[in-house]
Amino acid sequence: MVASSTFKQELLLREYGRNVQNIVQYILTVEDRGKRTQLAQLLVNLMGRLNPNVKDIQDAQQTLWNHLYVMSDGKLEVDAPFTLSAMEYLNDKPQRVDYPVQNPRFKHYGTNLERLIDKAKQISDPQEREAAIISIGKLMKVLYRTYNKDSVTDEVILENLRDLSKGDLDLDASLLEKGNLFESTVKAPQGPGNNYQNNNQKYKNNNQNKNQNQNRSKNK
C-alpha cells in the first residue's frame, strides 16, 4: 500500500527532519535484505528519540515502523516485526468544523436561554410551566443587568420572554403586581455597564472622603 498523499509525507518530514528522509533513501539502495533490516531497526530507534510524542500512542513501535514505511513511499522491503502499512487514514485532511450560524434574538440573553425557553414550552403541567417561566425570568433579569447598567422592570423581562417564546410563555398580570417577581438572589456578573457604574461610585466616594479630610484639616 503506497501513501499517495504528499500532505502525509511532508508532515512526517517536519517531524523527523530532512536527514531522516535522506537516511531512508539510503536504506532503499542497500541490496542485502538483512543489512537493510538492521539499518531500518536502528533508524526506527532514532525516530523514537526524535519524536518522543509517539511513546504516548498505543503500539508506538508499530507506528514508528509505519512512519518509516510511509517515508519510503511504500517501497521498503525488510523483515519488520510488524505488518507495514501506509496508514492512508492519516492522509485525509481534517474534517471541517461546523460553526453555529444562528444569532440570538437578544445578544445579552444568548442562545442557551433560547434553548431553555424551548424546553419550557414543552412542559404541559400548569404549575411546573409557571415555575419554569419565573425561573427563566429571573435568569433573564440577571443576564440583562450584566450588560446594561440601567435597571429593568419585570414587565420588560416578561415582554422579552413573550417575544422569544413567540407568545407561548406568559404569566398572569396579577403576579407582576406583587413586585420583584423576577428578582434573583444571584449577584449579576461584572459586565461593561456594571464596571462603569461601580467605578463611578468609587470615584464619588473617594472625592467625598478627600473633601471630608480637607474640611477636618481646616477646622483644626
Tens-place pLDDT, residues 75-91? 889 998 988 877 654 55
* pLDDT winner (highest mean) among 92-96, 175-179, 184-188: 175-179
Q: What is the mean pLDDT of residues 84-106?
A: 68
- End-to-end CA distance of the chain: give it in Å, rounded: 96
Retrieve residue 129's grid coordinates. Answer: 410551566
Reported as a pLDDT band with limits 50, 70 and 90, residue 70 is confident
Which of 74, 93, 94, 92 lies closest to 83 in space, CA to CA? 74
Q: What is the pLDDT of residues 144-181, one digit of tens each?
A: 888 877 788 888 888 999 998 988 988 887 887 777 78
Q: Give the pLDDT of residue 5.
A: 47
Q: What is the mean pLDDT of residues 175-190?
A: 70
Q: Check whether 7 has a pLDDT greater than 90.
A: no
| 206 residue type, one letter | N
Q: Check whether 207 has a pLDDT greater than 60.
A: no
Reported as a pLDDT band with limits 50, 70 and 90, residue 215 is low
Give pTM, 2 decimals: 0.42
Dist CA 129 CA 121 (whole Å): 8
Q: What is the mean pLDDT of residues 58-86?
A: 86
